[in-house]
């Protein structure tokens, strides 16, 4: 297992070298944070208590979301898009020469990235937002470990989806279309446009049941203490999706390896 | 006992081509009936034109491609069945691709490799010290890989492939794009590793100087078939590529007439003639000196390039 830890550490270090990208990212997140706050203030003024959120919940949602977009990889992440590129170009063959498991290798790389981005970028928008607005913080110390666990599960669910999309290149000639589709689904169902709790009726039920809900909406609701079925059920929901997706990922890896080894790419 | 053994190995690919609505499938044999074995410590040059089947063979030897027919044993195991197990005992370098961590200092890549191959720390340090010394990497360890020149990066990649003491190393065009000095240094290093560690080296290259400097054995393949297997000298003498005689005359003359040789080019007073390898140059010289105003002359032996070109043409 030492090797996967070593890989995660190197990946963390690698992302820490992109200093300008980190700073400019925080700036962008903050600008978008203010714009969304304007929109949400109007919306919750018209419909107080929308989706069970009060105004403070809605504003906190905005700043948490801006901090989590990159760590969770809502728009995709450079790690998994690099994997997709390696599949398309055939460079993936080099990865098969290594005595390591493909899925664990890329999971380690992605966790290293996410950890750096969470530490460097996750909290910054929240601090900016807290200077201007009244934001909510977890009500008790006991909630913090659950928040961290929810975030970790959210990042891993997001990775598992992105990993499957990247591996689709083994079967689809141009998997970029797949990446586009995944991006749209991710933006909508992760709650980037509007918190999923605000979606009415059957649309809301479906939206809150997708794996994308497990990436960002659920961890934010753990922070706010607003998970519809309680925190425990929310964590279980995330864990369930993670298990399914990782199994699918491992199956795809086995099939892809077999395809490369037997059909020659 | 041979470290690599191939018996009647072949590999076919299905190629689908489409013209209009019609899709045609046809089978292409990239490797056909390959049989050879390699002893521990051998340095074998594996050469052939693009598309000859070189990388297909290497892929089968490393286990990332199964043969469609025949059997392969590498280090005692069937590569495609024991790919991960075999991966610990071999090293691979692709001249055009790097396995190093692009944005991090070179030393980070080496640290990951120590964990990846579970190399005992003492042994890792010892190997690293040796390679840093021999490949002159000391000043590069703290430099991010993306800032290294091609030659420096290649030295890093080669060290990376050897850190876990592999029994067999596959080098795919390791000197591509390097300058003369970097090439010479790399060859010297590989020769030393082979001599001291008895590492078996399989080298594919288009640079025949690599072969000349390193290989005790050459295998030439074309269209998936072996067309030559032997020493470099054997390769040279197997083909009767013509020798060249260049004469400088005192004046610009029409092409000279000499028995047993033909003028292929004139360049002012200089004329280029070819004559068969198995004949002596002495009678030609006597005849030319007797009939023409000879000032200077030189004889050149066929290059390996021309030998191999001839081999492809006759195969």
Could you give the CA distance from residue A198 to residue A218 in angstroms, rounded to a whole number?
13
Which chain B residue shows the shortest CA-CA distance from A265? B65
Say what the pLDDT of residue A265 is: 58
Q: What is the DSSP string of B4-25?
A: EEEEEEEEEEEEEEEETTEEEE
Which chain B residue shows the shortest CA-CA distance from A18? B103
Token reading at B269? 């007073």
Say what the pLDDT of residue B315 is: 63
B11 touches chain A (CB under 8 A): yes
Residue A122 has pLDDT above 80, yes or no: yes
Pairing of strands B4-19, B69-74: antiparallel
User: Which residue, among A201, A242, A208, has the nearest Cα to A228 in the 3D structure?
Assistant: A208
Give pLDDT tens digits for B245-299.
888 988 888 888 888 888 888 888 899 888 887 778 888 888 888 889 988 988 8
User: Count of CB atoms within 10 A of residue B292's CB?
Assistant: 17
Token reading at B158? 């080669």
Give pLDDT tens digits for B43-55.
999 988 888 888 8
Question: What residues does each domain of chain B span?
Answer: 4-238, 243-314
CA B128 to chain centre: 26
3-class state of residue A197 by DSSP: helix
Say what the pLDDT of residue B212 is: 87
Which chain A residue shows the shortest CA-CA distance from B63? A261
Give the best residue of B12, B105, B111, B112 to mutate against chain A (max A CB count within 10 A): B112
Are B261 and B275 in contact by the 8 Å Cβ rule? The answer is yes
Cβ-defined contact of B115 to A6 (cutoff 8 Å):
yes
Give pLDDT tens digits for B48-106.
888 888 888 999 999 989 999 999 999 999 999 999 999 999 999 987 788 899 899 99
| CATH number assigned to the domain covering B243-314 | 3.30.70
Pairing of strands B270-275, B262-267: antiparallel
Could you give the CA distance from residue B117 to residue A100 in angstroms, rounded to a whole number?
9
Residue B125 has pLDDT above 70, yes or no: yes
User: Count of CB atoms within 10 A of residue B230's CB?
Assistant: 13
Cβ-defined contact of B103 to A14 (cutoff 8 Å):
yes
Assigned architecture for domain B4-238: 3-Layer(aba) Sandwich (3.40)
Output the pTM of the full model. Answer: 0.88
Nearest to B92 among A7, A14, A97 (CB): A97
ipTM score: 0.87
For chain B, the first-to-last Cα distance in angstroms comes to: 31
Burial A3-36 (b: 16+ CB within 10 A, else e): bbebbbbbbbbbbbebeeebeebbeebbeebbeb
Rg, C-alpha atoms of chain A: 19
Give me chain B's average pLDDT, please: 89
3-class state of residue A184 by DSSP: helix
Q: At what angle do helices A55-72 and A19-46 cross, to 10 degrees?
A: 150
Whether the CA torsion A98, A103, A108, A113 is positive or negative: it is positive
185-224 of B, contacting A, C-beta below 8 A: none
């Amino acid at each position: 297992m030492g090797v996967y830890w070593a890989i995660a550490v190197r990946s963390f270090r690698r992302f820490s070298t992109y200093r300008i990208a980190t700073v400019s990212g925080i700036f962008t997140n903050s600008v978008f944070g203010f714009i969304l706050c304007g929109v949400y203030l109007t919306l919750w003024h018209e419909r107080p208590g929308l989706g069970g959120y009060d105004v403070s919940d809605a504003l906190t949602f905005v700043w948490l979301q801006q901090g989590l977009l990159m760590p969770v990889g809502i728009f995709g992440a450079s790690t998994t898009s690099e994997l997709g590129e390696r599949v398309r170009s055939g460079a993936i063959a080099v990865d098969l020469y290594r005595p390591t498991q493909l899925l664990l290798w890329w999971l380690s790389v992605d966790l290293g990235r996410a950890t750096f981005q969470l530490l460097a970028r996750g909290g910054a928008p929240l601090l900016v937002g807290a200077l201007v607005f009244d934001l909510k913080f977890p009500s008790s110390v006991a909630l913090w470990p659950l928040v961290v666990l929810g975030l970790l599960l959210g990042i891993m669910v997001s990775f598992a989806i992105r990993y499957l999309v990247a591996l689709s290149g083994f079967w689809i000639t141009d998997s970029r279309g797949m990446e586009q589709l995944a991006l749209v689904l991710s933006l909508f169902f992760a709650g980037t446009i509007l918190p999923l709790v605000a979606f009415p009726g059957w649309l809301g039920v479906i939206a809150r049941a997708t794996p994308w809900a497990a990436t960002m909406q659920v961890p934010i609701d753990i922070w706010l203490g607003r998970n519809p079925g309680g925190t425990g059920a929310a964590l279980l929901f995330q864990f369930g999706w993670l298990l399914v997706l990782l199994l699918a990922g491992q199956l795809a890896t086995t099939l892809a390896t077999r395809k490369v080894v037997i059909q020659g790419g | 006992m041979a470290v690599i053994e191939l018996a009647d190995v072949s590999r076919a690919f299905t190629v689908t081509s489409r013209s209009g609505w019609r899709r045609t499938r046809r089978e292409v044999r990239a490797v056909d009936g390959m049989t050879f074995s390699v002893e521990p410590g051998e340095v074998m040059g594996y050469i052939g034109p693009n598309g000859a089947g070189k990388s297909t063979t290497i892929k089968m030897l490393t286990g990332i491609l199964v043969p469609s027919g025949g059997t392969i044993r590498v280090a005692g195991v069937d590569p495609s069945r024991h790919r991960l197990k075999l991966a610990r005992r071999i090293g691979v370098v692709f001249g055009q691709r790097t396995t190093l961590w692009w944005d991090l200092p070179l030393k980070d890549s080496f640290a990951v490799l120590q964990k990846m191959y579970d190399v005992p720390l003492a042994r890792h340090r010892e190997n690293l010290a040796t390679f840093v010394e021999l490949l002159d990497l000391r000043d590069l360890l703290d430099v991010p890989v993306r800032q290294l020149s091609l030659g420096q990066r290649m030295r890093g990649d080669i060290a990376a492939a050897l850190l876990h003491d592999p029994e067999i190393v596959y080098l795919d065009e390791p000197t591509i794009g390097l300058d003369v000095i970097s090439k010479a240094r790399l060859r010297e290093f590989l020769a030393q590793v082979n001599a001291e560690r008895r590492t078996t080296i399989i080298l594919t290259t288009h640079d025949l100087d690599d072969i000349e400097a390193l290989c005790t054995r050459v295998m030439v393949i074309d269209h998936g078939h072996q067309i030559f297997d032997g020493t470099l000298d054997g390769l040279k003498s197997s083909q009767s590529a013509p020798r060249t005689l260049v004469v400088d005359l005192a004046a610009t003359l029409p092409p000279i007439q000499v028995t047993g040789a033909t003028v292929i080019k004139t360049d002012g007073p200089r004329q280029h003639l070819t004559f068969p390898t198995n004949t002596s140059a002495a009678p030609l010289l006597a005849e030319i000196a007797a009939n023409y105003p000879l000032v200077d002359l030189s004889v050149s032996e066929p290059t390996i390039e021309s030998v191999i070109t001839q081999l492809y043409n006759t195969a």
